[in-house]
Amino acid sequence: MRVWMSYSEACVGDRRGVGYNRVFKAMKRRVLFICTANQNRSPTAEALLARSQRYEARSAGISPLATRPVTRDLLEWADLIFVMDERYDRHRTQLLELFPEVEGLAEKIIVLNIPDIYERDSPELIALLRQRLQHWLPDLDV
């Protein structure tokens, strides 16, 4: 028996149920960041949310040689998937080609348009991530 529910399940669940508000408020939204090699952009984004009270973040790379390669389990785990770049790196396109069996994948992917020109944890990358994520995570608490 499954004892957990995803953020999206809680959003469409029965709001009149006993304990619903407590479960809903305590639940963290699961966010996955994807770049090419999982060395600079996505680990920086994951670290940015590491102490968040509202979000649980993980990161992965689209390349099979990535530090942490993306898997079907990670994609299914995530409520939102932020890919760093589509124009040059084709992250969204590659995910959809590599994992056509993941239900609802296209709807969960958001392109941040952050090119692979930044060093890990650089102030410029952190500022850009905060700016781009603000629209999608307006209650970002970090």
Q: How many CB atoms lie within 10 A of CB 49?
A: 23
Q: What is the pLDDT of residue 142?
A: 58
- Strand 109-111 relative to strand 80-83, pairing: parallel
CA 105/CA 87 separation, integer angstroms: 19
Count of alpha carbons within 13 angstroms of residue 54, beta-carbon side = 8
Radius of gyration for the chain, computed over Cα atoms and rounded to the nearest angstrom: 15
Is residue 58 within 8 A of residue 82, CB to CB? The reply is no
pLDDT tops 90 at residue 6 = no
Calculate the average pLDDT of the chain. 86
Please tell me the distance from the alpha carbon of residue 35 to that of residue 70, in angstroms, as a whole number.
10
pLDDT bracket for residue 139 (50, 70, 90): confident
Under a CB-based contact definition with an 8 Å cutoff, are residues 48 and 55 in contact? Answer: no
Mean pLDDT, residues 43-63 taken together: 96
How do residues 7-50 score in pLDDT, each as one tens digit?
A: 444 444 444 444 444 444 468 999 999 999 999 999 999 999 99
How many residues in the chain? 142
- Hey, what domains does the chain have and what are their CATH numbers? 33-134 (3.40.50.2300)
At residue 27, the pLDDT reads 84
Please report the pLDDT score of residue 26 as a whole number. Answer: 60
Give pLDDT tens digits for 74-133: 999 999 999 999 999 999 999 999 999 999 999 999 999 999 999 999 999 999 999 999
Give first-to-last CA distance, the chain, whole Å. Answer: 35
